Chain A
Amino acid sequence: MVLEDMSWDGMSLDGNQQAPLHEEGQAEDELDDGARGLQGLIQDFRNAASHGFGGNVYKELMEEAKRELYPGCTEESRLSFIIKLLHIKVYNRIPTTGFDAFLELLSSTLKNVPGLPKSYNEMKALLRKLGFGYESIHACKYDCALFWKDHEHDDHCPVCGFTRWKVNKEGKKKVPHKVLRYFPIIPRLQRIFMSKQRAQYARWHKEKRVPVENVMTHPADGEAWKDFDETFKSFAHDARSLRLAIATDGFHPFGQMINSYSIWPVIVVPYNFPPWMCMDQSNYMLALLIPGKKSPGKDFHVYMQPLIADMIQLWMGVKTYDAVEGKDFSLRAAILWGINDYPALGTMSGRTTKGYFACVHCDENPCSECLRNKIAFICHRRFLPSDHEWRRNGSFDGHLEKRERPSKFSADEVVARLDEICYVPGKNPDMPKSIKRRRNEDEPVWHMKVSLYDLPYWSHLKLQYNLDVMHIEKNICENILATLLNIPNKTKDTINARLDLEDRGIRKELHLLVDTDSSSSKPRACYVLKPEDKKKFLQFVSNIRFPDGYASNISRCVNMEGAGSMQGLKTHDCHILLQRILPAGIRGLVHKDVYEVLAELGRFFRQLCSKTLKIDALKK
């Protein structure tokens, strides 16, 4: 396509009107967006607009791009200069006031550059045109409902009747209690296909990926993905169909220790891209921003409605322009799984993650048992084959183990159970108690049928939610370390833990010793380091030197004063400690059995987190 009307571009203003970029034959090779510059940007907008997408932004851009920065400037057009300037502001997080001051100085000094923008506000209009913006949707103060669709113009909550407005005075602007920000997902996914380069990469998982037998390097190698493709053949047929993950977690915006406010962003991640693009931060799309001050809790899914509505539409197919083929196609997208930490998984899935049924994989006969002051998940011998000799060995908990491993409900069973649950959204304290207090007593596992079940494919998914390896590693490592170093208030080896052993009548050598004056003491256990060994271990940890970029400086967490302890470990420190440092550090300091099992545990996590997973090794 010869774009004669685009010859204004800075690069082609050198008198050569037939710049090679403008020839059609070259377009195939011109896949690298980086080399295409402003011209490429506008060309993509223009192509999409000719198929009815993205509005007529390109016309305004083209007008803008014809303006010179100063008379006779050949390096930059005014538009590309402004884009680069904005880029600097946004990427370096320069405050608007500082940026304005800088611009004012420039424009007052460089009088012969008339194209210089005067303020950030002037440039912001451009940002509005190029980007997508977001929708503000008001919500009830008590999370009952969104003022959305049918209720858009209501003044009171359709569920609890509470007023929508915080400030509602004559002559003053109305202020809502809560505002949900929705970043429409459809145009964002459509834009992937506007640039040839990105659109090509979106097909990577099917057309360019070289699957290796027995090795997993991309989610497309996993069984869940393959199973999805098998079940929904028409979806899988088109390589452009996007597979997404949906991730959410709450965070405190005002610093580490101030937990009075909690914001819940929902992030969508497309998985079609090759690994180096897939897990890049720029690939993470913010879809929803659920406001504080309190976390939405059980009413999380009230806020998910706009996203789910769009996802249903995307499952049916949305007409989209594909830059590679140069014509429209029906874009489809599906959520493959959720990524959450464990408490957020409970919010997301509507399944309990506390109490006796805390494990999301053990629906029936979970391996939880009541101890003196907590619930423990023991008896892992149940996961052994039924004829395993350890099942008949009394040295674990003094009993034989005949029980089967805990079972998981099938997808149909889950849906049948969920259908019976009644759930009323909202937390309004003035709601009639008859409605508020209606609990589901005979259903201990599930709280509610979450909005994700509105997606036609959701109940067919093999892996709906991921267990978060990061937090599991962190918790296991902290448990082991605190017990090993006997850190007060954190160690699991408490008086009550010893009393549990007495209650069960096992491991007599660890039972509390009652002295003559009726006080009791804990005999030293093999999993706790002796004070002198503890110093040796801490010394070892503080002396380790890591390769550059391998780990943070873990020695900062070591406190050698007094009895010595480790504090302030970050999740990644635990990741390294559990897999590498801990087994090496305690070797020779603890009993061989303890060392061996911790080394095996480290090895397990090391294999699990490797960047190429061997399927046969996983099954072994």
Chain B
Amino acid sequence: MKENIVPILCKLEKIYPPAFFDVMVHLAVHLSDEALLRGLVQYGWMYPIERRLGTFKRFIRNKAGPEGCIAEAYTAYECMTQCSTYFSDIINRFTRSETDHLTHWLLYVSSWY
């Protein structure tokens, strides 16, 4: 892969005009090097982080103080997540049904194969 991506980009250069190659296209060259250092891509991409930001966004109820809303809601959420690990008889993120877990797992870790 490390040596595959260079010919791919060279071939693209032969087809597309130079204006096509902004920095994002160029960065593809370095991805395999980074994967060797880091391990799986799934541990270093923004998908789960963006999902988390979405959760924070939903915490906001009072638009005059968005930060305060997030801080209060987050501390409550964090505390209840912690407590809920001790109760298997309530529905929480650890005791959800098998299919939920599967989707969840697919979303963050799997590669869509």
The answer to whether B111 touches A610, judged by C-beta atoms less than 8 angstroms apart, is yes
Interface residues of A in 245-265 (CB under 8 A from B): 245, 247, 249, 251, 253-254, 261, 263, 265
Q: Which of B28, B46, B80 has the most CB of A within 10 A?
A: B46
Interface mask (A217-248 → B, CB under 8 Å = 1, otherwise 0): 11111111100000000000000000001010
The answer to whether A618 touches B48, judged by C-beta atoms less than 8 angstroms apart, is no
| Complex contacts, B106 vs chain A, CB 8 Å | 549
Interface mask (B1-12 → A, CB under 8 Å = 1, otherwise 0): 111111111111
Whether a CB of chain B sits under 8 angstroms from the CB of A313 is: no
Which residue of chain A has its CB nearest to the CB of B47? A470
Which residue of chain B has its CB nearest to the CB of A601? B8
| Complex contacts, A34 vs chain B, CB 8 Å | 85-88, 94-95
| Bound Cα distance from A500 to B16, whole angstroms | 12
The answer to whether B76 touches A90, judged by C-beta atoms less than 8 angstroms apart, is yes
Which residue of chain A has its CB nearest to the CB of B30? A361
Tell me the count of chain A residues lying within 8 A, CB to CB, of chain B.
Answer: 148
The answer to whether A219 touches B19, judged by C-beta atoms less than 8 angstroms apart, is no
The answer to whether A281 touches B51, judged by C-beta atoms less than 8 angstroms apart, is yes
Contact of A604 (CB < 8 Å), options: B8, B33, B78, B88: B8
| Complex contacts, B78 vs chain A, CB 8 Å | 131-132, 188, 285-286
Interface residues of B in 21-59 (CB under 8 A from A): 21-53, 55-59
Contact of B40 (CB < 8 Å), options: A80, A367, A550, A611: A611
The answer to whether A620 touches B4, judged by C-beta atoms less than 8 angstroms apart, is yes
The answer to whether B82 touches A462, judged by C-beta atoms less than 8 angstroms apart, is no
| B-contacting 9-mer, from A319-327, A389-397, A431-439 | A389-397
Contact of A468 (CB < 8 Å), options: B46, B66, B87, B105: B46
Interface residues of B in 52-78 (CB under 8 A from A): 52-53, 55-61, 63, 66-67, 70-71, 73-78
Interface mask (A182-201 → B, CB under 8 Å = 1, otherwise 0): 01000010010001011000
Contact of A467 (CB < 8 Å), options: B27, B51, B94: B27
Closest CB of chain A to B90's CB: distance in Å? Answer: 6
The answer to whether A493 touches B13, judged by C-beta atoms less than 8 angstroms apart, is no
The answer to whether B17 touches A37, judged by C-beta atoms less than 8 angstroms apart, is no
Which residue of chain A has its CB nearest to the CB of B48? A279
Known: A195-B85, A610-B113, A611-B111. A181 touches B6 (CB 8 A): no
The answer to whether A249 touches B49, judged by C-beta atoms less than 8 angstroms apart, is yes
| Bound Cα distance from A337 to B15, whole angstroms | 36
Closest CB of chain A to B26's CB: distance in Å? Answer: 4
Known: A87-B90, A191-B82. A576 touches B109 (CB 8 A): no
Which residue of chain B has its CB nearest to the CB of A575? B112
The answer to whether B24 touches A476, judged by C-beta atoms less than 8 angstroms apart, is yes
Contact of B88 (CB < 8 Å), options: A35, A191, A468, A619: A35
Closest CB of chain A to B101's CB: distance in Å? Answer: 8
Whether a CB of chain A sits under 8 angstroms from the CB of B97 is: no
Whether a CB of chain B sits under 8 angstroms from the CB of A95 is: yes
| Complex contacts, B85 vs chain A, CB 8 Å | 33-34, 195, 197-198
Contact of A597 (CB < 8 Å), options: B15, B20, B73: B15
Known: A276-B105, A466-B45, A608-B32. A37 touches B87 (CB 8 A): yes
| Complex contacts, B61 vs chain A, CB 8 Å | 95
The answer to whether B75 touches A479, judged by C-beta atoms less than 8 angstroms apart, is no
The answer to whether B28 touches A576, judged by C-beta atoms less than 8 angstroms apart, is no
| B-contacting 9-mer, from A63-71, A102-110, A369-377, A448-456 | A369-377
Interface mask (A464-492 → B, CB under 8 Å = 1, otherwise 0): 00111111100110010001000000001
Interface residues of A in 289-340 (CB under 8 A from B): 289, 291-292, 337, 339-340
| Complex contacts, A278 vs chain B, CB 8 Å | 43
The answer to whether B18 touches A500, judged by C-beta atoms less than 8 angstroms apart, is yes
The answer to whether A341 touches B46, judged by C-beta atoms less than 8 angstroms apart, is yes
| Complex contacts, B44 vs chain A, CB 8 Å | 245, 337, 339, 466, 468-469
Contact of B80 (CB < 8 Å), options: A91, A221, A291, A367: A91
Contact of A223 (CB < 8 Å), options: B20, B22, B37: B37
Residues in A lying within 8 Å of B, measured CB to CB: 32-38, 40-41, 80, 83-84, 86-88, 90-91, 93, 95, 127, 130-134, 179, 181, 183, 188, 191, 195, 197-198, 216-225, 245, 247, 249, 251, 253-254, 261, 263, 265, 267, 271, 275-276, 278-282, 284-286, 289, 291-292, 337, 339-342, 353, 358-359, 361, 367-369, 371, 374-381, 383-384, 390, 395-397, 462-463, 466-472, 475-476, 479, 483, 492-494, 496-498, 500-501, 504, 507, 510, 526-527, 549-551, 571-572, 575-576, 579, 593-594, 596-597, 600-601, 604, 606-613, 615, 617-620
Residues in B lying within 8 Å of A, measured CB to CB: 1-53, 55-61, 63, 66-67, 70-71, 73-88, 90, 92-95, 102-106, 108-113
A-B contact pairs, 26 of them (CB 8 A): A86-B76, A90-B76, A131-B78, A131-B79, A217-B40, A219-B38, A222-B37, A251-B53, A253-B66, A276-B105, A278-B43, A279-B108, A280-B93, A282-B81, A339-B49, A376-B21, A380-B29, A383-B9, A384-B10, A397-B13, A462-B37, A472-B24, A500-B18, A507-B17, A609-B112, A618-B36
Q: Which 6 pairs show the lowest CB-CB distances between chains A and B?
A: A34-B88, A131-B79, A222-B39, A377-B26, A466-B44, A475-B24
